[in-house]
Chain A
């Protein structure tokens, strides 16, 4: 850190990721508002706490093992190679703490490791962590009003600190085996966050079952409308806002593409932002495409839902998610059309699955994240067919079959299947669903009774005070 320009680059990168974390925090605020707005009055407090407490649980477990998995599992392990050493990411590494970049004490680390990771490790870890919260929070909305908080928090750790970060290691890192062998391309996480979270939510819902009263005796669904539609829409607006942080966190802000240690092309220099695969891109490109895919989603969702506020906002989200895989490379009008397709698919699939399979997805999370995410990966496979998946030689090119296999891995292998297995185990122990009587009267019944008793006591005291004063 004795050279002004180098220091500026390092500290800018550190600050850049820090800012993305602040923005992404808004995603969680949005999810909390959205869920509370969608739940009924009798379940508000438990709904809020269910989503809030995933923050510390996913955070500590992401510190303990999630971050290490990202670097260690790039080969599977044992799909194309062994576990990879990642001594800067273990919970006992000195680089997982306050560090100035000098010589290491631990002999597993080199001076290069400490010089490189000291200032980037915490902010990079946090940027990934906020993705983890998002993945778990997507599941949280689908299962409201009947899952036990304890069961949800175990499931949140499974997706937030285990399965999603495995998929990131495989398909959302410059050297993941899916990128190398399948040419998998998912620049802004249609699959690695959204499809997996949607698939995971579906796996839980299948075991958990619908809310009492959701379906009539003949199997047709009833609408359980949001308690507060305004809170839902503000929540979704906040998720949009946080999505800006999500998008820029998917990039590396400034790097010499030719001169990086991993890709050394002699005699050439080219500074640029890159995506996670180290392919050059620009903030300008993803700003165009984010807004155009959001717009495509909103426009289509407004039409297909007859102007329903909940589905119009959700359709905006599905639009972005549907185009995110290729939003580093698409033309903005392509992003708009693809985004519109994502919103259409999410809306239609939600009601088809609800009617056909009696799945009660309380907030449409499986549709907006799962189906639109799956679609986004598949469409990118066709749209970007033949593009190199990486600047490195020997990697497979992007293809429809590579991305389709990738979509199956995200939605089913790492999303649906682990969720279904863990839910079955929890169900077997009687730990998945709240008791029927409590579901009928509402999770907050004790809390609300206590509040009513407190209010009555205060009112009584005021009456007595007034009488004595008179």
Chain B
């Protein structure tokens, strides 16, 4: 079993491509491009879920004004504690 054409380094002056599975470049390019596009869709979906969750949390806590008030109170508390 060999994944590439290299079985010794004696004729290195004649070697061309030496990565495994020479000849699969077209498939690899297709796979890479597909993975890139899928990544964007996956990330957009994940971001939408995250933002929806954040927005809901903010609403549940009484809106942005209340969240900021709590946040500043906590920061002051942290500083006093230190």
Contact = CB atoms under 8 A, between A and B. Distances in A.
Interface string B24-58: 01101100110010011001100100110111011
B61 to A, nearest CB: 9
Interface string A367-402: 000000000000000000000000000000000000
Interface stretch (A271-279, A314-322, A412-420, A433-441): A433-441
Nearest to B68: A441
Contacts of B12: 100
B69 to A, nearest CB: 11
Given A94-B25, A150-B43, A440 B64 contact: yes
B22 interface: yes
Interface of B: 12-19, 22-23, 25-26, 28-29, 32-33, 36, 39-40, 43-44, 47, 50-51, 53-55, 57-59, 63-64, 67-68, 71, 74
B16 A105 contact: yes
Given A94-B25, A438-B55, A445 B67 contact: yes
B14 A105 contact: no
Contact of B32 (A1, A64, A105, A445): A64
Contact of B33 (A64, A101, A104, A106): A64
Contacts of A99: 16-18
Contacts of A93: 25
Contacts of A440: 64, 68
B32 A60 contact: yes
Contacts of B50: 446
A333 interface: no
A90 B50 CA distance: 37
B29 A64 contact: yes
Given A63-B32, A92-B29, A445 B54 contact: yes
B52 to A, nearest CB: 9
A441 B71 contact: yes
Contacts of B67: 441, 445
B54 A438 contact: yes
4 pairs of A and B residues whose beta carbons are closest in the complex: A100-B15, A440-B64, A91-B29, A102-B16
Judged by DSSP, the binding face of B is helix
B16 A446 contact: no
Nearest to A438: B54
A94 B28 CA distance: 11
Interface of A: 1-2, 57, 60-61, 63-64, 90-94, 96-106, 114, 148-150, 153-154, 431, 434-435, 437-438, 440-441, 445-446, 452
B28 A92 contact: yes
29 contacts: A1-B13, A60-B32, A61-B36, A90-B29, A91-B25, A91-B33, A92-B29, A93-B25, A94-B17, A94-B25, A98-B18, A100-B12, A100-B15, A100-B18, A102-B13, A103-B14, A104-B17, A106-B25, A114-B16, A149-B43, A153-B40, A434-B51, A437-B59, A438-B51, A438-B55, A440-B64, A441-B58, A441-B64, A445-B71
Contacts of B28: 91-92
B22 to A, nearest CB: 6
B26 A431 contact: no
Contacts of A154: 40
A106 B50 CA distance: 46
B23 A105 contact: yes
Given A92-B25, A437-B58, A438-B58, A101 B16 contact: yes
B55 A437 contact: yes
B54 A105 contact: no
Contacts of B43: 149-150, 153
Contacts of B13: 1-2, 102
